[in-house]
Each structure stands twice: as structure tokens, then as C-alpha cells.
């Protein structure tokens, strides 16, 4: 059958079935010259390997997208990563963003929350509410989502070591709103392996952390079926200095490790794999980034089909969120960051992302102001509604350059995964410092290129200006920490201490055994046990991880 005939068959079966459930945004998609844009352009001549390498959107190997209509059906979810100071301040920002047209929430937590410390802990001093919102207990979570219907909003939470605790709090808040767990949707990052190699907000050793993660998989399969239980993250790997190839390779290798751990724990691959999600970075090299996303999608489909024998087509789909590259933002001439973010966002859309966060122009200097956040969100909206980039699926397919880059990225990333396999898998390779060393070498080469002017960063090592005017910045006041500690003390004073002690004792017993930890965490959360108290139970049972130092 010719490619033309295959496309016709795809449209009459796969596409037609999809449109019957969810119509496309418009009956016809036209350019300004009234030229109709095809749903998915494909060669009208013989194209060797087309079925194996490209195929059609919504079909294996998913190179061209995971949905048959992609953005012609609906745009990607537009998120803005936000959270600062107290839960009340962050709640106000969320409502502002939703009113501005954002279609999903993305929560940033402060470092103490990420590391399992309450705001009144000595380790938290000076960090409360600084890089995200401070969450000490269910009381804070109730305020964070006050007036936001959790059955209507999808929420992504960038949280890893304490992901199980924050998910339990979210479930509890939803229940207080009268929303059952099976009605809520969203994502927890919950990707601890990249923390060991790139970011550092780990608490427990790898083995114990993997147990919590697989317990989350199992619990959500039965109780929170719409929730994405992990967002396997290349974002922070890239932020640490990796190349595009390393980002793909190390992220998918982590994905393999999570699937293996879940299967070893007794889960069937098709029971949990459809809820796996990924999180990638978008950098400035537009065409390399588009090729990276396409290669990752194809690689994951093959890994799940060939390595894990997954049968459900949804298990083969690499669905991913994208965030524009924080590490490319410059403190010098911060308005230049608007252009950088635009290029990066366009790469994510051309690459077929399911959800997107655009960074704000002032984030190299501070948390973003409301004006900066609005510009970042409008960037997505202009791409969606005005650029035409979303009117045809995988519009750069067939470009000699893009297809060559896609193939080369796949080949190089596959070689990395084979090396990691030889070292015993992602966990063992991390313990030996393999990924860390590769990332460090890549970061060094990048920085050296800037310092030798082999790589030009506009406004930094070329096209600089004298006496720049400092922009107006958002500052988190010191009073935030005082207020947060006061609120925490009030929560502790008003709770039933006997119930708290009982639930924490039960959690410790479960942690020492083999039962799923999620029900015990949920009970502790509902008793208003604090995040730090729950994390301390796990610290006492599991111990703390010591970093592998690589020079």
C-alpha cells in the first residue's frame, strides 16, 4: 500500500474515530492567503522506512505525535510554574493566572518543603517561601487551593523526595471540597533518580526512594486513576549542563529503571505505564530541540514495546511537559529573555509537547513579577492563536535536516543507554557517578565556549551595553517566614496530638514492613501531622542518602 493510501486509511479510521469523540477546533485551517493546511503532510512518493521511522500521529512509533489530531483538537495545556511566600500569596497568583487564560496550575515549592523540613526547623532559616510556596501541613494546602475547584483544574507539582506527602495533601484537600480521588487530575514530578545526578533535593537512599515511588504507582492505579504518578525529568539534567543527547538518554534510562522497579514490585506494565509522563527542557537551538522531542518519542515507544513487551498503545506513548530553559536566561539585558523563551516555546510546540511552561524575563534575577508572568503566558497564546504552528501536525517532518538530526540524536542516545545497561542500569550508574561525570564535562565545555567567545550569548559576551537600568523585581519579604512559623504553631496547637502520634506510629510500622505507605501517609496528613514530621519518620527508618562525589 502506498503512503498516500495509508494516510487515507489513517484519516478514515483513526482520525475519524478521534474526531467523533472530540471535534477539531475549526472545520478548516487556512493561512492568511486562504491556503488550506493539511492535517498532517506526508510524502506522495515512496519514502524508505516511513512506517518504521515516522508513521502517522497517534500511531506507533509516535514520532509525529501521540494524538491523531494533536493541536487541531485542542492546544497544549498552558501552565505557569508559580509559588512563593505563603500559601495565601500563591493562591492569589494562581487565581490571577487562571483569570489570564492559563489552563493548568504548576506548583513551585520552597526548598524546606522539597527537602522535608518544616518552616520552624533550623535548616529552613532564610529559605522559607523564597523559591516556592511553603507547605508545612494540610492547613497550608487548604489555603493554597482555596476557591480553586480541583475537579476542574489539572495541577502539576514539582516535588520529588516528599512527593508522596504532597500528593496525599492534595487528595485530602480535594475530599474536603467534595471531590473524590478518582476525579482529580495532574502530575507529581516524583523523579528521584535525576535528583541524585543533577539537582540534589534527595533525602533517602535510592532503594528506599524507589519503594515509595512504586507504592505511589500502585496506590494511584487503584484510587487516583487520572493522576500522572511520575514526570520523568530531563529538565534538571539539562539545567545542570547536559547536552540534548544526554538529556534524552539519561531521562529515558531513568524511565527504564522506574518501569523495572514497578514490574519487580509485581505491577503489570500496562497497569501503570499509561500514567507515566515526562518533562523536558527547551533550549535555543530550535531545530535540534524539535528533533530531540521527536527522537525521544520514538525511542520510548520502541523501549516499551521491545524491552517491556507492553501491549496497550497508551503504554508506548511518551507524553511530556516542557519548560523553557532557565539556565539560558541572562541577568544582563533581561528583555532579551523574551525572545529566547519565544524560540524555546516554539520548539516545544513544533516538537509536539502536551503541556508547556514559559519562563519569565526576570527569572535570572528573582521570582517573576505579575507583568513578566503575563508576557510569558501571552507568548504561548500568540504561538497558539496567531503563528499557525499548531494548524498542522509535525510540520517539520520530512525536512532533510530535521529527520537527520532526529536519527542522529536517537542513535547517540541509544548508545548512552546501552552503556548505562552495561554498568547495571541507571541506579547503579548513578552510584558510580557515570551520569554526573558526563553532565559535568558537558557543562564545562559549554561554559568554556562562552568564555572563549566560540559561543555567543547576546548581551553577555557580545552586544553588551553600559549602565543597564535595573528592572523592578519581586522580593519575598522576611515577614513571610515569621508569618509561616506563626501559622505552623497555630496548626500544631489546634490539632489532636494523640491522633497525630497514633498515625505517625502506624506510618513507622508500615515503613518498616512491606505494605504500601500511601494509606498511612494519607492518614497522617489528615491528622495534620506536618510534612517534616512525616519525613522524619522515613528518615528514622530509611536513613539519609550521601552524595557520590565525582571529580
Could you please report the per-residue DSSP string of 138-167? HHHHHHHTTT--TTT-EEEEE-STTHHHHH
Mean of pLDDT over the chain: 96
Residues (pLDDT < 50) of the chain are none
Phi-psi region of 424 (alpha: psi -120 to 50; beta: other; left: phi over 0): left
389 found inside a domain: yes
Residue 159's nearest CA partner among 229, 262, 92, 244 is 229
Distances from the Cα of 25 to the Cα of 244, 316, 349, angstroms? 33, 26, 17
The H-assigned helical ranges of 351-463 are 370-386, 400-422, 426-432, 434-451
- Per-residue pLDDT at 333: 96
Contact 219, 309 (CB under 8 A): no
CATH code for the domain in which residue 383 is found: 3.20.20.240
Bridge partners of 277?
Answer: 231
| Strand residue runs (E) in 117-226 | 154-158, 186-188
DSSP state of 471: P
pLDDT of residue 420: 98
Q: Would residue 162 count as lying in a domain? A: yes
139 lies in some domain: no
Task: Give the integer Cα–Cα distance in Å for 452 and 189.
Answer: 37
Query: Cell numbers of 68, please?
Result: 491523531
The residues near 14 (Cβ < 8 Å, ≥ 6 apart) are 56, 58, 59, 68
Per the domain annotation, does 33 fall within a domain? no
Look up residue 46 and give its three cell numbers.
515512496
pLDDT reported for residue 87: 95
Report the C-alpha gap between 526 and 2 in whole angstroms: 60
303 in a domain, yes or no?
yes
Residue 492 resides in a domain: no
The CA distance from 85 to 131, in Å, is: 8
What backbone phi and psi angles, to 5 degrees, belong to 155? -120, 130
Kindly report the number of other CB atoms within 10 A of residue 482's CB atom.
12
Residue 489 lies in a domain: no
Tell which residue, 187, 190, 174, has the closest CA to residue 104.
187
Identify the bridge partners of residue 160 per DSSP, sorted by sequence position: none
Is the residue at 265 inside a domain?
yes
Distance between CA atoms of residues 132 and 476, nearest Å? 10
Task: Classify strands 227-228 and 230-233 as parallel, antiparallel or unpaired.
Answer: unpaired
* Domain ranges, residue 416: 147-452
Q: Which residue has the cell 515503613?
A: 511
Asked if the bond preceding 227 is cis, omega within 30° of 0, the reply is no
Query: Within 35-86, where are the H helices?
Result: 50-53
What distances in angstroms separate CA 536 from CA 5, 208, 261, 292, 500, one per listed residue? 61, 14, 24, 40, 14
β-partners of residue 188 are 157
In three-state form (DSSP H/G/I as H, E/B as E, the rest C), the secondary structure along 5-47 is: HHHHHHHHHHHHHHHHHCCCCCCCCECCCCCECCCCCCCCCCC
The count of domains in the chain is 1
Amino acid at each position: 500500500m502506498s503512503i498516500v493510501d495509508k494516510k487515507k486509511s489513517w484519516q478514515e479510521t483513526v482520525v475519524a474515530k478521534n474526531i467523533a469523540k472530540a471535534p477539531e477546533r475549526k472545520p478548516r485551517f487556512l493561512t492568511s492567503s486562504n491556503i488550506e493546511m493539511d492535517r498532517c503532510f506526508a510524502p506522495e512518493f515512496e519514502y524508505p522506512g516511513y512506517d518504521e521511522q515516522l508513521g502517522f500521529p497517534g500511531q506507533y512509533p509516535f514520532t509525529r505525535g501521540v494524538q491523531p489530531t494533536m493541536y487541531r483538537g485542542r492546544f497544549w495545556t498552558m501552565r505557569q510554574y508559580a509559588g512563593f511566600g505563603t500559601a495565601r500569596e500563591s493562591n492569589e497568583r494562581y487565581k490571577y493566572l487562571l483569570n489570564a487564560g492559563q489552563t493548568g496550575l504548576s506548583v513551585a515549592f520552597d526548598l524546606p518543603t522539597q527537602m522535608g523540613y518544616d518552616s520552624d526547623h533550623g535548616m529552613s532559616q532564610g529559605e522559607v517561601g523564597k523559591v516556592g510556596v511553603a507547605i508545612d501541613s494540610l492547613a497550608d494546602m487548604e489555603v493554597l487551593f482555596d476557591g480553586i475547584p480541583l475537579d476542574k483544574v489539572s495541577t502539576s507539582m514539582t516535588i520529588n523526595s516528599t512527593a508522596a506527602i504532597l500528593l496525599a495533601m492534595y487528595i485530602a484537600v480535594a475530599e474536603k471540597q467534595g471531590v473524590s480521588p478518582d476525579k482529580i487530575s495532574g502530575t507529581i514530578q516524583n523523579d528521584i533518580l535525576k535528583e541524585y545526578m543533577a539537582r540534589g533535593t534527595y533525602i533517602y537512599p535510592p532503594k528506599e526512594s524507589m519503594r515509595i515511588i512504586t507504592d505511589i504507582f500502585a496506590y494511584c492505579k487503584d484510587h487516583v486513576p487520572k493522576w500522572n504518578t511520575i514526570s520523568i525529568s530531563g529538565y534538571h539534567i539539562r539545567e545542570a549542563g547536559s547536552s540534548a543527547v544526554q538529556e534524552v538518554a539519561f531521562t529515558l534510562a531513568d524511565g527504564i529503571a522506574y518501569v523495572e522497579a514497578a514490574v519487580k514490585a509485581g505491577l503489570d506494565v500496562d497497569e501503570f505505564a499509561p500514567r507515566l509522563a515526562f518533562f523536558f527542557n527547551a533550549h535555543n537551538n530550535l531545530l535540534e530541540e524539535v528533533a530531540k522531542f521527536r527522537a525521544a518519542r520514538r525511542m520510548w515507544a520502541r523501549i516499551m514495546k521491545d524491552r517491556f513487551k507492553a501491549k496497550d498503545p497508551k503504554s508506548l506513548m511518551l507524553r511530556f511537559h516542557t519548560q523553557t530553559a532557565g539556565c539560558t536566561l541572562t541577568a544582563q539585558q533581561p528583555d532579551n529573555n523574551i525572545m529566547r523563551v519565544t524560540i524555546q516555546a516554539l520548539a516545544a510546540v513544533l516538537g509536539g509537547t502536551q503541556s508547556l511552561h514559559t519562563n519569565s524575563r526576570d527569572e535570572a534575577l528573582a521570582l517573576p513579577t505579575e507583568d513578566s508572568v503575563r508576557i510569558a503566558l501571552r507568548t504561548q497564546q500568540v504561538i497558539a492563536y496567531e503563528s499557525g504552528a499548531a494548524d498542522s501536525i509535525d510540520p517539520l517532518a520530512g525536512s532533510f535536516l530535521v529527520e537527520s538530526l532526529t536519527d542522529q540524536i536517537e542513535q547517540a542516545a541509544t548508545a548512552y543507554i546501552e552503556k548505562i545497561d552495561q554498568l547495571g542500569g541507571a541506579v547503579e550508574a548513578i552510584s558510580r557517578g557515570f551520569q554526573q561525570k558526563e553532565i559535568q564535562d558537558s557543562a564545562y565545555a559549554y561554559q568554556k565556549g562562552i568564555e572563549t567567545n566560540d559561543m555567543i550569548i547576546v548581551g553577555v559576551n557580545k552586544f553588551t551595553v553600559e549602565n543597564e537600568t535595573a528592572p523592578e523585581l519581586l522580593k519575598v519579604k522576611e515577614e513571610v517566614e515569621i508569618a509561616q512559623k506563626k501559622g505552623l504553631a497555630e496548626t500544631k496547637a489546634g490539632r489532636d496530638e494523640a491522633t497525630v502520634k497514633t498515625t505517625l506510629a502506624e506510618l513507622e510500622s508500615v515503613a518498616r514492613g512491606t505494605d504500601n505507605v500511601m494509606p498511612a501517609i494519607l492518614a497522617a496528613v489528615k491528622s495534620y501531622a506536618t510534612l517534616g514530621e512525616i519525613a522524619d519518620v522515613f528518615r528514622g527508618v530509611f536513613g539519609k542518602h550521601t552524595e557520590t562525589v565525582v571529580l
